[in-house]
Amino acid sequence: MSDEEAETLLGFVKGCYRLLNSIAENLVLLGGVVERASGVAPHGARPTQAALPLDDGLPAPGEVAHRIAAAPRAWGNTVRWYEAAYKWTGGGPFGLGDIFAAHDELAEATKGKIGVATYQRVLSALVRAGAATRKGGVYTLREPNDELREAVERVRNTKGGAKHG
Residue 162's SS3 state is coil
Better-predicted residue by pLDDT, 49 or 137:
137
- The residue count for the chain: 165
Supply the angle between the helices 77-89 and 119-129 in degrees, to the nearest 10: 90
- The predicted structure's pLDDT at residue 74: 83
pLDDT digits (tens, 9 = 90+) for 15-25: 887 888 788 78
pTM surpassing 0.85? no
First-to-final CA distance of the chain: 62
pLDDT digits (tens, 9 = 90+) for 31-75: 777 777 776 665 555 555 544 455 556 556 556 655 555 566 788
